Structure 1
Amino acid sequence: MVNFNGNFFTNDTAILTHNNRGLKYGDAVFETMRYVNGTLFFWEDHYFRLMASMRILRMEIPMEFTLEFLEEEIKRTTMENTAEGDAFRVRLTVFRNDGGLYAPATNNVSYLIETTPLESPFYLAKEEAYEVELFKDFYVSKDMLSNLKTSNKLLHVVAGVYAQENGYANCLLVNTDKNVVEAINGNLFVVNDKQIKTAPLSDGCLDGIVRKKLMEIIDASENLELLEASVSPFELQKADELFLTNSIAGIQSITKYRKKEFGNAIAKGLLAKLNAKARLSSTN
């Protein structure tokens, strides 16, 4: 079952029309979250990012869109799908209502909540091969829109097709300065000894929730150094580890980039701390 503006529909119900602005113009923002045993991981961070994104895109935020209201709607949706398990990937999409061309007829919005079962309630360290390559056909723009989680993801879609066609698990995206900013579905971290580097938001990467949480963890670690700076493609093969972060996988280690193979010792240690931080967020 999916939740459209508070009403439930089966997954095969035709809810949206050909006039949907998310379809026509990519006029939508979304949050993807982990829901486990009644708890949304890092919900406050997701909520405030959603509100900030809606303001930047000049969407009208409904009075009822409080943190508590949307959390309850998500929980109602998962309750409708409990037969599928108790750990879910939740996607909350907000889109501007029908009408207008590029300039909308209204700034009022609707929302859609979907759930998909997850294999595990917590983040897992996956050991399978995970090879990546640079995608250089198109570039990430260095602006605030690139920081937002919008439905304008054509670059990521084409990069995904490229990865499939060439047998890669993922692709790394570069910006207009030819610096590496992120992967198709997450932020990139580069490990050299005890220094861990990730691209700054000013380079155009997604303002990821797990990116933020992991930066807090690294910054608080006595034996690790956090560096937020541009990542050159030439740095990748010199790194000790490369890993990706997002709200569903947590941390995904990269095992190979071109001729270089990587370890995952630092990533495993950080994953344990991320799981602990997720559990702590669920008790607050």
Structure 2
Amino acid sequence: MSLQYINFDGQLIAENQQIATIDNRALRYGDGLFETMLWKDGDIRFLDLHVKRLQQGMQTLQLDEYAKFDAFFIRSKTEELIRKNNMLGQQVRVRFVVYRAGGGTYAPETNKPVYVVQVSRMPPVLRDKKLGLIVDLYTDFKKPYSDLSHLKSNSALIYVMAGLYKKKFAYDEVFLLNQEGNLCEGLISNIFIYYEKTLYTPALTEGCVDGVMRKVVMEMAEHEGVPVVEAQISPEIMKEADEIFCTNAVQGVQWVMGYKQKRYFNKISRILQEKLQTWGEEAGEN
């Protein structure tokens, strides 16, 4: 396997080169944020939404220089790294991490940001489109919600524990509950449920991450005339729902085929999957 490179705060270095010390705040406290993005057809899809979320998150965490991380900066650093790794012309998963520099204990010594960019080729889609995801609820630990819950934070213990459960039982995705026992989000996705001709998704106040694809799907659904409601959702609805699908910026829209003995349709999600292929252009025209 050929040597791969990352961008560590402006320097292109081998990805196996040591970059963290014991004082690293991302390592010690999860003190940072990240964006996971899709590079396709020579650009990052929905880049403006990623930029807006990252900058707002940096302001929330009181990180300096948030305006530096604009669309031009993120696009140019990503393209530079893709060229370095000989991935031009391919679909690429981009992970853009920003964390607080310096040491200190819980009280930081500085609010200066450090960034790291990592790229990886998207693997071929092996799943037959006729087969959706098999999911389960993860109930061992619940995600507490607060005004920080919507951030894509480097602090991820609840997701690690849910990931262990998913791996142990070989599910395609698992759904997290919030502290009240309501649906929150998937391990790597936001959740949408189609029930009685209305599309429901957990409200941000329920503790879910403010997903980029979540926003895009809500816009596409409304464009198709499908009512969308952000709500408090009991997991009991999974026994009655017509359709369930998951969304994230890299995989787009993924149909859920089954939960326990329940099986779901794939009508609305298929429409949205197809619409997503050209939505950037359509949205720009409307």
Shorter-normalised TM range: over 0.9
Over residues 1-29 of structure 1, what are the superposed CA-to-partner deviations in whole Å (9 max), with x where a residue is unaligned?
10011110112111222221111000010
Q: CA separation in 1, counterparts of 2:21 and 2:284?
A: 37
**Percent identity between the two aligned chains:** 32
* Correspondent of 2:221 among 218, 223, 226: 218
* Correspondent of 2:168 among 140, 143, 165: 165
Question: CA offset at residue 265 of structure 1?
Answer: 1.7
* Alignment correspondent of 2:182: 179
1:169 maps to a residue whose letter is D
Please provide the CA RMSD for this pair: 2.1
* Alignment correspondent of 1:153: 156
Q: CA separation in 2, counterparts of 1:62 and 1:216?
A: 27
Question: CA offset at residue 67 of structure 1?
Answer: 2.7
Q: Which TM-score applies when normalising by structure 1?
A: 0.93
Q: CA separation in 1, counterparts of 2:25 and 2:283?
A: 34
Q: CA separation in 2, counterparts of 1:276 and 1:53?
A: 28
Q: CA separation in 2, counterparts of 1:273 and 1:82?
A: 30
* Correspondent of 2:210 among 203, 207, 227: 207
Q: Which TM-score applies when normalising by structure 2?
A: 0.92
The question of whether the paired residues in 2 share the 8 Å contact of 1:147 and 1:207 is answered with: yes
Question: CA offset at residue 220 of structure 1?
Answer: 1.9
Over residues 249-275 of structure 1, what are the superposed CA-to-partner deviations in whole Å (9 max), with x where a residue is unaligned?
101111111110112121011111112
* Alignment correspondent of 2:271: 269
The question of whether the paired residues in 1 share the 8 Å contact of 2:8 and 2:117 is answered with: yes
* Alignment correspondent of 1:99: 103
* Correspondent of 1:15 among 4, 19, 33: 19
Q: CA separation in 1, counterparts of 2:15 and 2:89?
A: 17
Q: CA separation in 2, counterparts of 1:90 and 1:125?
A: 25
1:261 maps to a residue whose letter is R
Relative to structure 1, the CA distance from residue 81 to residue 142 in structure 2 (aligned partners, 3 Å threshold; closer, same or farther) is: same
2:13 maps to a residue whose letter is F
Q: CA separation in 2, counterparts of 1:83 and 1:196?
A: 37
Q: CA separation in 2, counterparts of 1:218 and 1:282?
A: 16
Relative to structure 1, the CA distance from residue 64 to residue 163 in structure 2 (aligned partners, 3 Å threshold; closer, same or farther) is: closer
Q: CA separation in 2, counterparts of 1:51 and 1:154?
A: 24
Matching of residue 249 in structure 1 with residue 251 in structure 2: yes
1:220 maps to a residue whose letter is H
Q: CA separation in 2, counterparts of 1:272 and 1:246?
A: 15
Question: CA offset at residue 84 of structure 1?
Answer: 7.4
Q: CA separation in 2, counterparts of 1:75 and 1:98?
A: 28
* Correspondent of 1:229 among 212, 228, 231: 231
Question: CA offset at residue 240 of structure 1?
Answer: 1.0
Gaps of 5+ in 2: none
Q: CA separation in 2, counterparts of 1:133 and 1:251?
A: 18
Relative to structure 1, the CA distance from residue 62 to residue 164 in structure 2 (aligned partners, 3 Å threshold; closer, same or farther) is: closer
Q: CA separation in 2, counterparts of 1:32 and 1:278?
A: 18
Alignment of 1:117-136 (within 5 A): 117-119=121-123, 126-136=129-139
Q: CA separation in 2, counterparts of 1:40 and 1:171?
A: 27
The question of whether the paired residues in 1 share the 8 Å contact of 2:193 and 2:201 is answered with: yes
Q: CA separation in 1, counterparts of 2:67 and 2:30?
A: 24
Alignment of 1:76-115 (within 5 A): 76-83=80-87, 86-115=90-119
1:186 maps to a residue whose letter is S
Over residues 133-166 of structure 1, what are the superposed CA-to-partner deviations in whole Å (9 max), with x where a residue is unaligned?
1111111122121100011111011001011112
Paired residue secondary structure (1:146): coil
2:134 maps to a residue whose letter is E
Q: CA separation in 2, counterparts of 1:63 and 1:232?
A: 39
Matching of residue 43 in structure 1 with residue 47 in structure 2: yes
The question of whether the paired residues in 2 share the 8 Å contact of 1:126 and 1:252 is answered with: no
Relative to structure 1, the CA distance from residue 149 to residue 282 in structure 2 (aligned partners, 3 Å threshold; closer, same or farther) is: farther
Question: CA offset at residue 127 of structure 1?
Answer: 3.3
Relative to structure 1, the CA distance from residue 55 to residue 83 in structure 2 (aligned partners, 3 Å threshold; closer, same or farther) is: closer
Question: CA offset at residue 129 of structure 1?
Answer: 4.9
The question of whether the paired residues in 2 share the 8 Å contact of 1:242 and 1:262 is answered with: yes
Structure 1 segments of 4 or more deviating over 4 A? 279-283
Relative to structure 1, the CA distance from residue 63 to residue 195 in structure 2 (aligned partners, 3 Å threshold; closer, same or farther) is: closer
2:214 maps to a residue whose letter is R
The question of whether the paired residues in 2 share the 8 Å contact of 1:125 and 1:252 is answered with: no
